[in-house]
Amino acid sequence: NSQAMAANHEKHGLLLAAAILLLLLFLLAKLRRRRKKYGGVPLNPPPGPWQLPVIGSMHHLVGALPHRAMRDLALRHGPLMLLRMGELPVVVASSAAAARDVLKTHDAAFATRPRTNTIATLDGDGLGFALAPYGDHWRRVRKLCVTELLGAPRVRSFQGTREAEAAALVASVAAAAASGDVVNVSSLVSTYVVDAAVRVIVGDRIAGRDAFLACLEEGLRLSSGFSLADLFPSSRLARALSRRSRQVEAAAQEMSRVMDGVIEEKRARKAAGNGMGREEEQDILDVLLDGGGTAPLDIGTIRAVVRDLFGAGSESSASTLQWAMAELMRRPAALRRAQAEVRGALAGQSRVREEALQELPYLRLVIKETLRLHATVPLMLPRESREATRVLGYDVPQGTMVLVNAWAIGRDAATFGADAEEFRPERFEEGTAAALDFRGTDFELLPFGAGRRMCPGITFGLAVMELALASLLFHFDWELPGGTVELDMAETFGVTAKMKNDLWLHAAVVVPPL
């Protein structure tokens, strides 16, 4: 009996050892698959939600705007999260600490842009600065933008243009108010921003202006989101079936054709001696055609820079102005304080001049709070890891797309308190929030990004927004249309998160425009 028991124990021991060995083999195989998935290197990837075959994590984003869905997922899985969008590994940073690691600590490692099918098609005949890969070309164009196109002296030289467009905006609102009509604030603000951008970038005498604008807007629309070919870059079938890819290609060709017409018209005027001679009167296209004092730029680069400047300087500023007016209408105390400040500082004046904007600190807080709640580009423009990098203790392999959820970071209760979802400009007058700036040094507030790839047009964008908002508050009193109980604050997703529906308000003239 003792021998039988010993044999039985030995058999059970062998079975247990075999089970343990099989478990170890299973775990090793699973680890090997994970290592293979991340380039054959032992990694500790960021956590993330469960995935499905083929589509990966995309089902978690269905039914919500991406920046909102990713914020909700981050609350469950952490401030650095791994998603898989089809074949694409995507890491999402949703806290100030994660953003600091990506945009400052490892800025050089994440300084390039992913070359998706959509981006490569849009940039097919030339690279600008917004979507260009990191390298010598990007550095040259970026330097040109910062020093020659969007630097403080150049922005100041366009003051007259901005003031003229602001006066046109005020006149349009006054005309609607005089007739008793409800004012479509969204439409008029968009027209103001677009006209200011067009005059500054390509001049105000171009033929085919409407075709030029329509073409650029279509390109911006198509550049948001992913096509099938973006999600499954290794699949020829995905490329063949991607309707969006064909639309992007057609839009890119039309954009090149229209821009060539604008450029040739500009060159013809300059050759005939009708161009502006003095530097302060040059538009940005004049500077690009001159090469900014360096070697001439090729035509594809000029097209791409014009497209990037228009994209950065039009939709984002218009969207911010619409949100600012909507938020002020929902908080009458903030509206009254902003109007009292503007009218007190400009008492006896007939219009707002840019010099007076320095005397309007609360108005600047209104714009700052609007940018916090409604980040200019909610997910920022995507970056890509140029090398394997460790972020918050997790490994991010080379070639991974990285998104920074500026929208979620701006609404983080850990930074902005229990009322982080509320519009309250006064928060920047008190506590730790008072020291926060949005120019790339504080990672709790990133409407314009940070690091090497942050938006170079902050100075111009702020001048456009501050002048328009001050003018609207100085000249008019505003009320919700009769019967409106609560404003519709729904968003629509694109390059920016715009208001889904136009903002309609009643305006009453208080300071008549000249």
φ, ψ (nearest 5 deg) of residue 285: -65, -35
Concatenated DSSP letters of 116-179 = -HHHHHHTTT---SSSPPSSHHHHHHHHHIIIIISSHHHHHHTHHHHHHHHHHHHHHHHHHHHT
Average pLDDT of 216-223? Answer: 75
Residues in the chain: 514
**In the chain, pLDDT over 70 holds for what percent of residues?**
88
Same domain membership, residue 30 and residue 109:
no
Under 8 Å between Cβ of 380 and 449 = yes
C-alpha distances in Å from residue 61, one per residue of 58, 68, 178, 281: 6, 9, 46, 48
Query: What is residue 26's predicted lDDT score, i.e. its pLDDT?
Result: 45
Range in 234-243, 372-381, 417-426 with the lowest mean pLDDT: 234-243
Same domain membership, residue 415 and residue 336:
yes
* Rounded Cα distance, 487 and 439, in Å: 30
Query: What is residue 467's predicted lDDT score, i.e. its pLDDT?
Result: 96
Query: What is residue 206's predicted lDDT score, i.e. its pLDDT?
Result: 67
In this predicted structure, the answer to whether residue 77 has a pLDDT above a threshold of 50 is: yes
Q: Residue ranges of the alpha helices (H) in 38-81? A: 66-77
Residue 36's pLDDT band (cuts 50, 70, 90): very low
Neighbours of 398 (CB within 10 A): 14
Under 8 Å between Cβ of 49 and 77 = yes
Q: Is residue 333 part of a domain?
A: yes
Query: What is residue 239's predicted lDDT score, i.e. its pLDDT?
Result: 79
List residues bridging with 404 in a β-sheet.
93
Same domain membership, residue 299 and residue 410:
yes
Q: Which tokens is 152 given?
A: 């403080």
- Coil vs helix vs strand at 138: helix
Under 8 Å between Cβ of 431 and 114 = no
Neighbours of 133 (CB within 10 A): 16
Same domain membership, residue 25 and residue 117:
no
Average pLDDT of 458-474? Answer: 94
**In the chain, pLDDT over 90 holds for what percent of residues?**
51
Q: Is residue 317 part of a domain?
A: yes
Range in 58-67, 211-220, 225-234, 334-343 with the lowest mean pLDDT: 211-220
Q: Is residue 68 part of a domain?
A: no
C-alpha distances in Å from residue 473, one per residue of 59, 188, 283, 374, 452: 44, 15, 29, 20, 36
* Rounded Cα distance, 370 and 446, in Å: 12
Same domain membership, residue 354 and residue 217:
yes
Range in 229-233, 278-282, 386-390, 450-454 with the lowest mean pLDDT: 278-282
Under 8 Å between Cβ of 503 and 185 = yes
Q: Is residue 74 part of a domain?
A: no
Average pLDDT of 200-224? Answer: 75
Same domain membership, residue 138 and residue 27:
no
Average pLDDT of 206-222? Answer: 74
In this predicted structure, the answer to whether residue 423 has a pLDDT above a threshold of 90 is: yes
Q: How many structural domains is the chain composed of?
A: 2
Residue 279's pLDDT band (cuts 50, 70, 90): very low
* Rounded Cα distance, 97 and 388, in Å: 19
Same domain membership, residue 15 and residue 112:
no
- pTM for the complete prediction? 0.87
- Coil vs helix vs strand at 324: helix
Same domain membership, residue 459 and residue 382:
yes
Same domain membership, residue 358 and residue 224:
yes
What mean pLDDT is reported for the chain? 86
pLDDT digits (tens, 9 = 90+) for 13-34: 565 555 555 545 544 444 455 4
Burial bucket for residue 6 (CB in 10 Å: 0-12, 13-18, 19+):
exposed
Q: Report the candidate in 511, 466, 472, 473 with the shortest Cα–Cα distance to residue 356.
A: 466
Q: Which residues contact 418 (CB under 8 A, 6 or more apart)?
A: none
Radius of gyration of the chain (CA): 27
Q: Is residue 119 part of a domain?
A: yes
Same domain membership, residue 22 and residue 119:
no
* Rounded Cα distance, 438 and 368, in Å: 8
Residue 496's pLDDT band (cuts 50, 70, 90): confident
Query: What is residue 280's predicted lDDT score, i.e. its pLDDT?
Result: 46
* Rounded Cα distance, 375 and 369, in Å: 10
Same domain membership, residue 112 and residue 29:
no
pLDDT digits (tens, 9 = 90+) for 322-381: 999 999 999 999 999 999 999 999 998 999 999 999 999 999 999 999 999 999 889 999
Q: Which tokens is 365 given?
A: 């807080």
List residues bridging with 506 in a β-sheet.
479
Q: Is residue 77 part of a domain?
A: no
Q: Report the candidate in 74, 106, 110 with the shortest Cα–Cα distance to residue 414.
A: 74
Q: Is residue 96 part of a domain?
A: no
Domain that holds residue 9: 1-37
pLDDT digits (tens, 9 = 90+) for 116-146: 888 888 777 788 888 899 999 899 888 888 8
Q: Is residue 1 part of a domain?
A: yes
Query: What is residue 208's predicted lDDT score, i.e. its pLDDT?
Result: 67
- Coil vs helix vs strand at 101: helix
Beta strand 401-404 pairing with 491-492: unpaired
Query: What is residue 278's predicted lDDT score, i.e. its pLDDT?
Result: 47
φ, ψ (nearest 5 deg) of residue 158: -95, 15
Q: Report the candidate in 267, 275, 380, 305 with the shortest Cα–Cα distance to residue 144.
A: 305
Same domain membership, residue 120 and residue 32:
no
Residue-wise burial string across 259-296, b where 16 or more C-beta atoms lie within 10 A, e elsewhere: beebbebbeebeeeeebeeeeeebbbbbbbbeebeeee
Asked whether residue 455 is marked as a ligand-binding residue, the answer is yes
Range in 155-164, 268-277, 393-402, 483-492 with the lowest mean pLDDT: 268-277
Average pLDDT of 38-47? Answer: 71
In this predicted structure, the answer to whether residue 240 has a pLDDT above a threshold of 90 is: no
In this predicted structure, the answer to whether residue 469 has a pLDDT above a threshold of 60 is: yes
Could you tell me the CATH number of the domain that includes residue 204?
Answer: 1.10.630.10
